[in-house]
Amino acid sequence: MKTSGWFPRTILGVGLTFLYAPIISMMVFSLNNSRLVTVWDSAHSPTLKWYGELLGNDEILGAAWLSIRIALIAASGAVVLGTLTGVALARFGPFRGRTLMVGMTTAPLVMPEVITGLALLLLFITLQQAIGWPHGTGMVTIILAHITFCTAYVAVVVQSRLVGFDESLEEAALDLGARPGTVFRRITLPLVAPALVSGWLLSFTLSWDDLVITQFVAGPGSSTLPMVIFSKVRLGVSPDVNALATIMVLLVASGITLSALWLRYQYRRRERDLQLAAAANQ
Amino acid sequence: MTQNLQTESLRARRVVMGIPLLWLLLLFLLPFLIVLKLSFSETRLAIPPYAPLLEWLGGVPHSALHISNYAFLFTDPLYISAYLYSLKVAIVSTFYCLLLGYPMAYVIARAQGTWRTVLLMLVVLPFWTSFLLRVYAWIGLLKHNGVINNILMYLGLIHQPLTMLQTDFAVYVGIVYSYLPFMILPLYANLEKHDGALLEAAADLGARPFTAFVRVTLPQSIPGIIAGSLLVFIPAVGEYVVPSLLGRTDQLMIGRVLSDEFFENRDWPLASAVAILMLLLLVIPIMLFQRSGGRELESHH
């Protein structure tokens, strides 16, 4: 295949600059001494004072801890539900309710968040009136809401992974007398394992990051990190948010770099094992 | 064999598809039915602030339908203009997203080995960092004494700071910026599958590269264009964060109107009617997305 011409390559450069300039500028100004965020105070900068201030901010730390707990539970729940959905869609052929299931797993991917948030809150209130549960809104309702929209993403990831493998492995195991449960545990699950990992990480990120749906279903006293950040930045730029953003970007970047390196290591090892096996066979 | 799998594991199958189906029915479909019902309800000064969805009159369940909320939406110009403005913002942003995203996806799809992986990662990486914080970063760039104005003034290109924050321009920038990966990924998934032999054949038959692109590559990439555009357009119509942080204060988008009706005015039936009308506007794009988009989206994870 030929490489592209100068025009699309220029646009790629412009696009990447566009994607990264705001993030980099935010990181640079997190080291700025001045409260006037965008005016560089060269006499006293760079400084880490906003990072120090961040560590002493109990509101932000508390919200971050709440967000982490919610994201951990929501991502795990979504992986279970999303895997079941993905397996059903990829492996069960046509069944009654399949169209409905496809609809309910693709619609959340694009549904405007204000609509989903409103709908979920009204559901929780109706449920509370009808059966007395959930008791008010808070962490539980946030988790239920997050599981629901993350499930759709996990289902797409798992389904596309399964579609990539044909069913012959599972069929062979069944022919050899394995029970369906065993086939699922020993064959299907290991096949989709990488999709489970990326689905979990994706769900964790989406849950950790969600503002709009959370705002609807959160109760008093359950402010997540995005809610605290939003109420701060609504009033304008604030330097400790720059520091917070920098920490988050660095964490994500190192996480992704590490996982990419790990994947490459696994791949290389597999290649080497295959070569060794081939050599041994000769 | 498939036959075996179908007969032996009928019960397991029922559990596997039953659990998520039940969950989605309860937490995705049912909520929308409640919104629909509530949009035909009356506002009351009570907790919760609406007339009960079902009332028992003489032992018979009775449910009143009022269209007053919808009537109100069509009489007050605020709502119509918010809908139209949201459509305009979504269309324009989707167009710019495509304009920027297509060439990017094209180069990535034609890049070799490691380069391709690195470029793809560079595009996806921002998606993994906070959406809210990335939009917030633009405040610092766009505001009156912000980075862009400072640079332009330092270079002597302008003498007065430009007003960029709280304009349509800022909203376009914010939406294009935050949804760009959603445009690039389905396009990339499509362009990557193209057969290079077709372009070679076109070249052999005397087509210039540009002609070959317009006649061969572009028509083949239409499913990717549609999927990417819908993936940007549909959420953009209801976008809340970007216009709240970067947008105009004199013209609201419909997502903000819904949220204000709900949280500020506590008019839940009206907020529900706003949501239902927004859904009606989006139902065709959403169905289109389910047909084309799902498939294009699946291949990149």
User: pLDDT digit string (tens) for B107-156?
Assistant: 999 898 888 888 998 898 888 888 899 999 999 899 888 889 988 998 98
Tokens of A209: 């990051």
Question: Which of B92, B206, B138, B225 has its CA nearest to residue A242?
Answer: B138
CB contact under 8 A, A109 and B231: yes
Tokens of A273: 């094992």
| B7, B10, B21, B295, best to mutate vs chain A, most A CBs in 10 Å | B21
Asked if the model's pLDDT at residue B22 lies above 80, the reply is: yes
Mean per-residue pLDDT of chain A: 88
Determine the average pLDDT of the residues in A8-35. 89
Between CA B126 and CA A253 the distance in angstroms is 9
Question: Which of A210, A106, A71 has its CA nearest to residue B288?
Answer: A106
**Residue entry with tokens 């400072």:** B150
Pick the residue with more confidence: B64 or A203?
A: A203
State pLDDT tens for residues A225-234: 999 999 988 8
Determine the average pLDDT of the residues in A187-192. 87
According to the model, what pLDDT value does residue A106 have? 87
* A91: chain B residues, CB-CB within 8 Å: 5
Determine the average pLDDT of the residues in A220-244. 87
Q: What is the CA radius of gyration of chain A?
A: 24
CB contact under 8 A, B145 and A39: yes
For residue B74, the tally of other CB atoms under 10 A from its CB is 10
Between CA A166 and CA B6 the distance in angstroms is 16
> Residue A1: which pLDDT band, with cuts at 50, 70 and 90?
very low
Asked if the model's pLDDT at residue B11 lies above 90, the reply is: no
According to the model, what pLDDT value does residue B140 have? 87
Pick the residue with more confidence: B261 or B144?
A: B261
What kind of architecture, by CATH, is found in domain A42-236?
Answer: Orthogonal Bundle (1.10)
For chain B, percent helix, then strand, then coil, each to nearest 5?
A: 75, 5, 25
Asked if the model's pLDDT at residue A268 lies above 90, the reply is: no
Which of B245, B278, B298 is opposite residue A115, by nearest beta carbon? B278
CA-to-CA dists, residue A148 to A137, A202, B236, angstroms? 16, 14, 21
Report the amino acid identity of residue B134: R
Asked if the model's pLDDT at residue A96 lies above 90, the reply is: no
Give first-to-last CA distance, chain B, whole Å.
29
Pick the residue with more confidence: A93 or B237?
A: B237
Between CA A121 and CA A119 the distance in angstroms is 6
| Ramachandran angles phi, psi of A164, nearest 5° | -65, -20
According to the model, what pLDDT value does residue B105 have? 94
Say whether residue B4 is in contact with chain A using an 8 A CB cutoff: yes
Residue spans of the domains in chain A: they are 42-236
Mean per-residue pLDDT of chain B: 87
Asked if the model's pLDDT at residue B212 lies above 90, the reply is: no
Which of A21-30, A258-267, B194-203 has the largest mean confidence? A21-30
Q: Where are the alpha helices (DSSP H) in B155-221?
A: 168-192, 196-204, 209-212, 218-220
Report the amino acid identity of residue B168: D
> Residue A75: which pLDDT band, with cuts at 50, 70 and 90?
very high
**Which residues 16-75 of B are in CB contact (within 8 Å) with A?**
16-17, 19-21, 23-32, 34-35, 38, 48, 53
CB contact under 8 A, B289 and A110: yes
Between CA A50 and CA A241 the distance in angstroms is 9
**pTM score, whole prediction:** 0.89
Say whether residue B255 is in contact with chain A using an 8 A CB cutoff: yes
According to the model, what pLDDT value does residue A173 have? 85
Helix (H, G, I), strand (E, B) or coil at B208: coil
**Residue entry with tokens 């032992």:** B59
Say whether residue B237 is in contact with chain A using an 8 A CB cutoff: yes
**A136-145, B193-202, B259-268: segment of lowest average pLDDT:** B193-202
Task: Note the residue count of chain B.
Answer: 301
| Ramachandran angles phi, psi of B98, nearest 5° | -65, -45
> Residue A3: which pLDDT band, with cuts at 50, 70 and 90?
low
Percent of chain B scoring above 90 in pLDDT: 51
Mind spelling out the 3-state secondary structure of A98-148?
Answer: HHHHHHHHHHHHHCCHHHHHHHHHHHHHHHHHHHCCCCCCCHHHHHHHHHH
List the single residue in A with minimal CA-CA distance to B116.
Answer: A3
Task: Note the residue count of chain A.
Answer: 282
State pLDDT tens for residues B220-250: 999 999 999 999 999 999 999 999 999 999 9
A vs B, Cβ pairs < 8 A, gives 294
Asked if the model's pLDDT at residue B4 lies above 60, the reply is: no
Full set of structural domains in chain B with CATH: 70-298 (1.10.3720.10)
Asked if the model's pLDDT at residue B300 lies above 80, the reply is: no
Shortest Cα distance, chain A CAs vs residue B51, angstroms: 12
Cα A107 to chain center, whole Å? 17
Which of A41-45, A69-73, A254-258 has the largest mean confidence? A69-73
Q: In this predicted complex, what is the ipTM?
A: 0.87
B270 close to A129: Cβ distance less than 8 angstroms: no
Contacts of A251 (CB under 8 A, 6+ apart): none
